[in-house]
Amino acid sequence: MTLGSVPPKFKVGIDRDQCMDCGRCIENCSYGVYRREGDKILIESRKCTACLRCVAMCPRDAITITEKPVDYRYHPVWTREVREDIINQARSGKIILSGMGNARNLPIIYDQLLLDACQVTNPSIDPLREPMELRTYLGKKPKKLQFRKTESGDVELETKLAPNLKLDTPIMIGHMSFGAISLNSHLSMAKAVKETGTYMGTGEGGLNEALYPYQDRLIVQVASGRFGVNIDYLERGAAIEIKIGQGAKPGIGGHLPGEKVDEAVSRTRMIPLGSDAISPAPHHDIYSIEDLVQLIRSLKEATEWKKPVFVKIAAVHNVAPIAAGIARSSADAVVIDGFRGGTGAAPKVFRDHVGIPIEVAIASVDQKLRDQGVRNEISIIASGGIRSSADLAKSIALGADAVYIGTAALVSLGCRVCGNCYRNLCPWGIATQQPELVNRIDPEMGAIQVANLIKGWTLELSELMGAAGINSIESLRGNRDRLRGYMLDEGTLKVLDVLPAGA
């Protein structure tokens, strides 16, 4: 082997004075960092992913993890990452796999957008004392209403409304499939969305029976692999989502490693045990916008036009006209997934280099739909890297109706963003199917954690709106007048249609 080994990413240490030799680190580490030999706990640092499970479980705070204990000679161009990717590929001749979202250190537009608040000339509104309305309806809305006068002289509505999803808060949980994540993760999130009056996506992995009690809060997904799709599945969902693309890997299909396909996953997805589930890059019945229109209509026909149908696309350069095309179909919402969207497994080169930020995608889609007079035809759901209530508020001010969160929900279940989701070893019981790991999540507790996150963000959003003198979410939506850009270049400000701070 001429290449030899690369330096370990992390160095794990145990403070032997603190350690009480309880062995919880050994039990908890599914990557096999720790083992007992005689009366000593030995450490193999090279296996560590910094998932921090051992640190969280150590009763004595005896464990330390240091990043990059041995580093390469510094070079601004030939970074450690670049060199190691080359070494890996020299060994394997393969595509490099990765997990979670874009890991490049690019500027985050959300962090350079600032929200407004009232002072003197208009009063802020106190959500503790005044009504604050976050209720959001997702789906087609008429451009205008027609009324008729009844014989008694009353005004009656003539226009018929299309079915809409009613959300108590504009935060939904995005599509992460059973297979990519565990059943207990799904159960935790399903219970949480039911409690908080919102919805979650099933992902493309079908619908496990254990989730049937929550089906009126689930958006079922039809992706290019069509895993788990049958009429029963479609009828159970509150809405149906066609997944064209995903922000973490625009232009390619899903990838579920065979390690994660156990019996339950295989049955739910309707695929053979242990086989890789690779969804094709395009849907094999969609080669143009009119084919998509037909699929939407077929799904609507199959479910008697009772359910909204969403279309999810990755935020790519041409996202605005694509969304405008979708708005002209019978689709009820377009989901835009930005380039920071997470995933269980994606080729690293896609995760880190393909697609555009969600902030500019929301802005250009909202603008295009308005230019073409079709904004009411379709709701905009934004996703991909939404980390806080501030990101949520900014997304809505840019023009989104609601957001999907993914990684944030997983972090509320314990995820520490170590990025090894594709290995089926997740020590937090999230991105794994191994029963002893999955059982580390108690769905009742998990549901409380996820619901707490949604509640916390909802409270913060109410406060931010009240401070801006707004008591209804409609008045925040597309209200870019209440945003200012800080240290953003003029081109970006123009796309965002946001003034610079101070103007």
Partner 1 sequence: MCSSLFISRVIEMCGIIGFIDKTRSKIDGSSIKAALSLMNERGSGDGAGYAAYGIYPEYADYYALHVFFDNLAEPKMKVDEILQQSGEIVHQEEIPTTPQPGIKKVHIPWRYFFKPSEDMMAERLASEKDVVTAIVMQVNANIKGATIFSSGKNMGVFKASGWPEDVANFYGIENYSGYIWLAHNRYPTNSPGWWGGAHPFNLLNWSVVHNGEITSYGTNQRYVEGYGYKCTLFTDTEVVAYLFDLLGRQHGLPHEMVVQAVAPPFWDEIDRMPENKSELYKAMRLTYGSALMNGPFAIVVGTDDGIVGFTDRIKLRPLVVGENGNRLYISSEEAAIRGLDPEVKNVYTPRAGEAIIGRFIE
Q: How far is the CB of 59 from partner 1 (least distance, A)?
A: 49
Q: How far is the CB of 320 from partner 1 (least distance, A)?
A: 14
Q: Which two tokens stand for residue 290?
A: 């009119």
The answer to whether residues 181 and 344 touch, using CB atoms and an 8 Å cutoff, is: yes
Please identify, using beta-carbon distances, which residue of 92 and 152 lies nearer to partner 1: 152
Q: Using DSSP, how many helices (H) and how many strands (E) does the chain show?
A: 15, 23
SS3 325: helix
Buried b (16+ CB within 10 A) or exposed e, 58-77: beeebbebeeeeeeeeeeee
Q: Which two tokens stand for residue 463?
A: 């406060």
Q: How far is the CB of 385 from partner 1 (least distance, A)?
A: 23
Q: Which two tokens stand for residue 228?
A: 């788990």
- CB burial class (10 A; 0-12, 13-18, 19+) of residue 53? buried
> Can you tell me which residue has the tokens 């350069």?
317
Q: How far is the CB of 465 from partner 1 (least distance, A)?
A: 9
Distances (CA, A) of 18 to 13, 63, 109, 152: 12, 9, 43, 83
Q: How far is the CB of 109 from partner 1 (least distance, A)?
A: 17
Please identify, using beta-carbon distances, which residue of 38 and 502 lies nearer to partner 1: 502
Please identify, using beta-carbon distances, which residue of 202 and 367 lies nearer to partner 1: 367
Distance CA 433, CA 181 (A): 7
Distance CA 131, CA 152 (A): 34
Distances (CA, A) of 349 to 63, 101, 106, 249, 407: 34, 12, 15, 9, 20
User: What is the maximal distance between C-alpha atoms in the chain?
Assistant: 92
Angle at the Cα of 171 from the Cα atoms of 238 and 127, rounded to 5 degrees: 125
Nearest residue to 453 (alpha-carbon basis) of 388, 381, 394, 400: 388
Please identify, using beta-carbon distances, which residue of 40 and 494 lies nearer to partner 1: 494
Q: How far is the CB of 265 from partner 1 (least distance, A)?
A: 39
Q: How far is the CB of 242 from partner 1 (least distance, A)?
A: 23
Q: How far is the CB of 371 from partner 1 (least distance, A)?
A: 7
Distance CA 83, CA 87 (A): 6
Please identify, using beta-carbon distances, which residue of 239 and 430 lies nearer to partner 1: 239
Q: How far is the CB of 169 from partner 1 (least distance, A)?
A: 13
CA 146 to chain centre: 38
Measured in Å, how far apart are the chain's first and last C-alpha atoms? 61
Q: How far is the CB of 400 from partner 1 (least distance, A)?
A: 13
Q: Are strands 113-115 and 483-485 parallel, antiparallel or unpaired?
A: antiparallel
Buried b (16+ CB within 10 A) or exposed e, 371-385: eeebbebbbbbbbbb
Exposure on the CB side of residue 385, measured as CA atoms within 13 A:
33
Q: Interface residues with partner 1 (CB under 8 A)?
A: 118, 121-123, 125, 130-131, 133, 135, 137, 141-145, 147, 155-157, 159, 161, 164, 366, 370-371, 373, 375-376, 397, 399, 468-472, 474-482, 493-494, 499-500, 503
Q: How far is the CB of 240 from partner 1 (least distance, A)?
A: 20
Q: How far is the CB of 462 from partner 1 (least distance, A)?
A: 14
Please identify, using beta-carbon distances, which residue of 249 and 482 lies nearer to partner 1: 482
Please identify, using beta-carbon distances, which residue of 136 and 432 lies nearer to partner 1: 136
Angle at the Cα of 122 from the Cα atoms of 117 and 123, rounded to 5 degrees: 80
Among positive and negative, which fits the CA dihedral 203, 387, 396, 157? Answer: positive
Please identify, using beta-carbon distances, which residue of 76 and 131 lies nearer to partner 1: 131
